[in-house]
Amino acid sequence: MRALLSTALLAGLLAPAAHGQLRPVRPGDQALLKRAPTYEEQVAAQVAARLTRLRPQVRCAPLGILGTHPAGYFLMVPQMCADLAAFHKSPASFDPRACRDGTCLTTDAAVAMALATVSHESYHLLGYTNEAQVECYGMQSIWFVASKLGASLVEAQAIGKFYATQIYPLRQTQTPAYWTSECHDGGRYDLRPQSHSWPS
Ligand SMILES: [Zn+2]
């Protein structure tokens, strides 16, 4: 599975990508990028670096925008950074397979969103700009982000499945630009067509 993912990402590297060069999208981002990264930012940046084989920077900022064009960095809203840090500290506490009530459903969904944001933004770093394609590729790499943050492989895959079944379908009506009917096992955006395990 890892080998197949790397092959797909290698193809992405051929697209015009940032290759570690920081290009502030907004004037205010320059100051953000100048300061030293916090622990949470380093955690997110390290995972994005492993996923992209680039050297991206991540900053947690209240005006976090989800960039469409590769700029060598991405921003995440502080709550998402906090969710990532909480997951990194105790991955097993956010296992959707153990969730039996609405409270954990909310926190598990928030964590899954934070993990998905790291992988989504990583595909932008690789040069992809079509949001539906980026979202679909990102969903297929949630397991990678989760496992790099300490989750077991089975839990990491369960989080990917949770996102695919509970969160992704909502995009069709809530954020249609981020949804495509081609995002399924065997669909146009399936990164691992030989494998029938989905989305991991
Ligand atoms: Zn995006």
Omega before 16 within 30 of 0, i.e. cis: no
What distance in angstroms lies between residue 172's CA and the mean position of ligand 1's atoms? Answer: 15
- Position 160 scores a pLDDT of 98
Q: What is the mean pLDDT of residues 163-167?
A: 96
What distance in angstroms lies between residue 57's CA and the mean position of ligand 1's atoms? Answer: 16
What distance in angstroms lies between residue 139's CA and the mean position of ligand 1's atoms? Answer: 12
- Position 18 scores a pLDDT of 36
In the block, tokens 């969730």 appear at: 99
What distance in angstroms lies between residue 83's CA and the mean position of ligand 1's atoms? Answer: 19
Give SS3 for 170.
helix
Give SS3 for 20.
coil
Does residue 122 contact residue 179 with C-beta atoms inside 8 Å?
no
The pLDDT tens digits of the residues spanning 2-55 come to 334 333 433 333 333 333 467 787 777 888 899 999 988 998 999 999 999 999
What distance in angstroms lies between residue 64's CA and the mean position of ligand 1's atoms? Answer: 12
171 band by pLDDT with thresholds 50, 70 and 90: very high
Return the structure tokens found at 97.
């397979």
- Position 14 scores a pLDDT of 31
Can you say whether the dihedral through the CA atoms of 79, 99, 189, 56 is positive or negative? Answer: positive
Which pTM was predicted?
0.85
Return the structure tokens found at 85.
């840090």
The pLDDT tens digits of the residues spanning 67-80 come to 556 678 999 999 99
What lies within 8 Å, CB to CB, of 100 at 6+ separation is: none
What distance in angstroms lies between residue 20's CA and the mean position of ligand 1's atoms? Answer: 19
Mean pLDDT, all residues of the chain = 86
Return the structure tokens found at 155.
């839990």
Q: What is the mean pLDDT of residues 95-119?
A: 93
Can you say whether the dihedral through the CA atoms of 43, 171, 100, 162 is positive or negative? Answer: negative
Does residue 58 contact residue 44 with C-beta atoms inside 8 Å?
yes
Ramachandran bin of 195, using left for φ above 0, alpha for ψ from -120 to 50, beta for the remaining angles: beta
What distance in angstroms lies between residue 101's CA and the mean position of ligand 1's atoms? Answer: 30
Residue 106: pLDDT above 60?
yes
DSSP E strand boundaries for the chain = 57-60, 73-76
Return the structure tokens found at 32.
């953000």
What distance in angstroms lies between residue 48's CA and the mean position of ligand 1's atoms? Answer: 14
* Lowest-pLDDT choice from 64-68, 135-139, 156-160: 64-68
